[in-house]
Chains A and B, each alone.
Chain A
Amino acid sequence: MNISTLTPSLFDDNALWNKLKDGDEKSFSMLFERYYADLVRYGNSLSPFEEKVQDCIQDVFTDIWIYRNSLQNSVVVKAYLLASVRKRIARLHERDHIFRKTASTDSIAFLLEFSVDHELLDDADDDAKEKIVHLNKLLNDLPTRQKEALYLRYHQGLSVEQIAEMLDVNYQSASNLLHRGLMSLRKDWKGTFSLFLLLSASSF
């Protein structure tokens, strides 16, 4: 998952961000190194063209540096970067489809497939393994927007507000996206009654 945030960093994102705004090239480079690989991974889940994705991400950073004077002070850097990359890739899609009139950001689909980590399953019993494989299939059968919401929430650690902003929906819809994602899992997830109970009792 997100290893970079697990290891304590000497300079936190916002400190680097503010130094970047003052024109500090080193801070810029540090943020780039910190998030580039992660952004590429996310970008690749939105577009199958890896080269274009890297191009988009580099353009995002290019614009950050060039327009650094007009950047906002208090942003959650990671959320800002993810959202910028998404917008950039969506714009690229638009341009490619300019004569097809599919011009909203919704036109991009989340292509990533969740997978099962078999190494970690070695010590699990067969019953658990079966459940995990089944769950994995259910997850991958979810609508792409729900999958993307789950990915952003649990793999990128964004808050529901940030997801709402990124996917250009209101808070309730974003919350629903996440919730429905897990809800529809619940429906099919027979045999794990506890999850059913807990989810139906929960409000997101």
Chain B
Amino acid sequence: MQKRNTYTQIEDFLSDESFQSWILLKIDQDGWEEWTLESLQRAKLVEDARLLLLAMKVPESDLSTSDVQKALQNTWIKIEEKENEILFSKNAGTKFFKNYFLTGIAASLFFCLISIWYYKNYIPADNIVTYKELIAENSEGLVEQTNNSDNPQIITLSDGSSVLLQPNSKLSYPKIFTGNERKVYLSGEGFFEISKNPKKPFFVYANEIVTKVVGTSFRVKAYSDQPDVEVLVRTGKVKVKSNDLVANSNQEEVILLPNQALRFFRSDLKFNKITNITQDKELVQNVGNIEQLSFEFSDIPVSQIFETIEQAYLVKIDYPVNKLKDCHLTTSLSDQPLPEKLKIVCKSISAETNFEMNGNQIIITSEGCN
């Protein structure tokens, strides 16, 4: 408090916290009162500073402790959201666009004009539909799963259907199917096993075609960089037609039965139905594990059934080996999605047998068979 002996200006007092507390809170910790009275000149200065300070009051904050706590919680939520956003934009590489938003718009406009010009001049008809366009058509909270690995990946949908997604492919689907239709979007190749629900038909949008099913298993191959799209049916019945997004599409619908396939030529928008798939080299070559394996089991050890499922879906199944070593089953699992297959197997072993799916990890808990 020696400092104050050098004060010569009102400003010196105004910014002195101890002085402030004396005037405004009437807490005289440092004996200001006595000190002021020591000299007349000093008393005048102090009086002026006091008046100014009293004329300069600002309203107190009316935030309560709980208001502040609420704000703090809110901030942690914001932090979490932003961290996720950053993570996402890093992955998707959109950060760049965010930072240069206006530049981006200008560039896109320019690019659009160029594209329109290019399409008008070089492409006879507007007949290419990309995965991106499909997604844009239906953007209500889709989840996208991309398989960048070397092995097929299993995806389980909310209705119990399963999709075996091949490498370099992606699938967009709603977290939960709502409404009277189930729609998913595919780029690349996937083997679909759809849970039966005649009231809610299942649609696979892939490039320029739409495949409609009620409950069945089939394969769709629609890589954006390949000239044709293939659909191959294993069980049940599917209907294929071209997407409405395709200009001048003739709205023909092709019905496919088991072991029939269809090839769609993207350049001239023609469907080619293949009734004998064994004679089509390309189709035969591409048959995956899942389509070759038989899911008809008669008196087969449970361990072998699990092994078949592991091979077909490239999943890992953990089960109590010793407890189930004497269990045999007779069952047909052909036309069932993966969760349904597991359910049937578990229920056939015993009522107390359950399974849990975690990505490609499946855990079976059981106390043995009946």
Partners in one complex: yes
Q: How many A-B residue pairs have CB under 8 A?
A: 121
Name the residue on B nearest A36 (C-beta). B68
Give the distance to chain A from B26, nearest Cβ to Cβ, in Å. Answer: 8
Which of B51, B59, B71 contacts A54 (CB under 8 A)? B71
> Contacts A36-B63, A115-B58, A155-B58 given: A58-B71 contact, CB under 8 Å?
yes
- Among residues 32 to 53 in chain B, which have CB atoms less than 8 Å away from a CB atom of chain A? 44-45, 48, 51-53
Are B79 and A65 within 8 A (Cβ)?
A: yes
Q: B residues 7-29 with Cβ under 8 Å of A?
A: 8-11, 14-15, 17, 20-21, 23-26
Stretch at the interface among A11-19, A70-78, A129-137, A165-173: A129-137
Binary interface profile of A, 164-196, with partner B (CB < 8 Å = 1, else 0)? 000000000000001000100100000010110
Chain A residues with CB under 8 Å of B116's CB are none
CA distance A117 to B69 in the complex (A): 29
Q: Is the CB of A114 within 8 A of B82?
A: no
CB distance from B254 to the nearest CB of A (A): 53
A59 within 8 A of B: yes
CB distance from A5 to the nearest CB of B (A): 7
B72 touches A6 (CB 8 A): no
**Residue from B24, B55, B79 within 8 A of A114 (CB atoms):** B55
Contact (Cβ within 8 A) A62 B57: no
Report how far A38 CA is from B60 CA in the complex, Å: 9
Structural contact, A58 and B78, CB atoms closer than 8 A: yes
Residues of A within 8 A of B54 (CB): 116-117, 120-121, 124, 132
Select the stretch in A79-87, A88-96, A100-108, A146-154 that faces chain B.
A146-154
Majority SS at the chain A contact face = helix
What distance in Å separates the Cβ of A121 from its nearest Cβ neighbour in chain B? 7
Q: How many residues of B contact A (CB 8 A)?
A: 39
Interface size, chain A (Cβ < 8 Å) = 54
Mask for B59-99, Cβ within 8 A of A = 1, else 0?
11101000011011011001100110010000000000000
Contact assessment for B9 and A202 in the assembled complex, using a CB-CB cutoff below 8 Å? yes
Bound complex: CA A83 to CA B15 (Å): 19
- Among all A-B residue pairs, the 8 with the closest Cβ atoms: A135-B55, A136-B55, A37-B61, A202-B9, A117-B57, A37-B63, A58-B75, A62-B78
17 extra interface residue pairs, beta carbon distance < 8 Å, beyond A62-B78, A139-B56:
A5-B17, A6-B25, A32-B72, A32-B75, A41-B58, A45-B58, A54-B71, A115-B57, A117-B54, A120-B54, A121-B54, A124-B54, A132-B54, A153-B11, A154-B15, A178-B11, A201-B8
Identify the A interface with B (CB < 8 A).
1-3, 5-6, 29, 32-33, 36-38, 40-41, 45, 54, 57-59, 61-62, 65-66, 112, 114-117, 120-121, 124, 128, 131-133, 135-136, 139, 150-151, 153-155, 157, 178, 182, 185, 192, 194-195, 198-199, 201-202, 204
Query: Residues of B at under 8 Å CB distance from A?
Result: 8-11, 14-15, 17, 20-21, 23-26, 44-45, 48, 51-61, 63, 68-69, 71-72, 74-75, 78-79, 82-83, 86
